[in-house]
Structure formats: structure tokens, C-alpha cells
Amino acid sequence: MSAAEDQDDKGEVLPVPYKVGYGRPPTEHRFRKGYSGNPRGRPRGARNKPKIDTGIGMRGAEAYLRAEAYRMVTLREGDNVIELPAIQAVFRAMGVAAMKGNRFAQRTLADMITRVEHEDFTSRLDAFGKWAEYKHEWGEAIERAKLAGREP
């Protein structure tokens, strides 16, 4: 037997000396039968995470930006712990900074709100115009059908 080999309690030859201690159990107890090497297993949803498609025609940076913007984050407000999208947390922090007197945050928040409300108003106005046009066209079509003696 060479100097690099040693014998364990059962008389088996080990290739190198094995010292038993913290984090180094005896060889007969190292790998127990029936116990997994990964006892907690794969985390839930680890395989099911949505993949971002950056193929032909896709704008990868936008997809990654959206993924980060809508990633859920955990915030603590006093004693409450809440979970919300990262973009909402940013807007919340901007609102808090604006209320504390940060002029840049105040102006940015006011400009953003003005722009969003203007876009909302114009889209509603556009939709209302299309609805009115639709009603007018079908009203005329119904009148033509009645004059021609057909069912509307």
C-alpha cells in the first residue's frame, strides 16, 4: 500500500486519505440510498418562463424593455408588503418625489399625465366620430331598404 492510499473502517482501500469532519461525513454515510442530490427540486415555473423572440423583424430591445417594465417587484409601504410591476413602482416613486418638492419630478409627471390624457381624449373622440359615421351610414341604408320595399 502506497502513502497516497489509506484504509477505511471496513478495510477498503481509499485512493487518498479522507478526513472526517464538518461537511465531510464518513464514506459509508456520504450518499444515502433513496435521497436525491437535489432535494428541493426544480423551482416552479423555471422551465415555463416566457422566452423573448428576437427573430427576424422583431425589435429585441423593445421586448426586453417591456419584460423589465412589467416584471413584478416587491415594495414595503410601512407595514404592508405589496407586489406590483416595476414601471408602476417607478411612477409611484416619481409621484412621491414630486410631492416632496422635486421640481424635475413634478414637471415630468405633469407632462406625462397631460400627454396621456390628451391621447386618451383624442382616441375617444376618434372612436366617437367613427361610431357616429357608422350610425349615419346604416341609418341611410335602412331608409333605402324601406323605400325599396325590402326588409331593413
Q: Identify the weakest region by mean pLDDT among 22-26, 33-37, 60-64, 110-114.
A: 33-37
Mean pLDDT over 100-111 rounds to 96
Is 14 in contact with 5 (CB distance < 8 Å)? Answer: yes
C-alpha count within 13 angstroms, C-beta hemisphere, residue 9: 6
Q: Which residues contact 22 (CB under 8 A, 6 or more apart)?
A: none
What are the distances in angstroms from CA 33 to CA 8, 23, 24, 25, 36? 20, 18, 17, 15, 8
pLDDT above 70 (res 144): yes
Distance between CA 81 and CA 72 in Å, rounded?
Answer: 13
Confidence of residue 129 (pLDDT cuts 50, 70, 90): very high
Place of cell 429585441: 60
| pTM listed for this prediction | 0.51
| pLDDT over 80 (residue 3) | no
Between residues 85 and 32, which one has the greater pLDDT? 85
140 in helix, strand or coil? Answer: helix
Q: What are 61-94's pLDDT values in tens digits?
A: 888 888 899 999 999 988 999 999 999 999 999 9
Q: Tell me, rounded to whole angstroms, the distance of Cα 44 from its chain centroid.
A: 15
Is the pLDDT reported for residue 149 higher than 80?
Answer: yes
Determine the pLDDT at residue 71: 92
Band (pLDDT 50/70/90 cuts) for residue 4 is very low
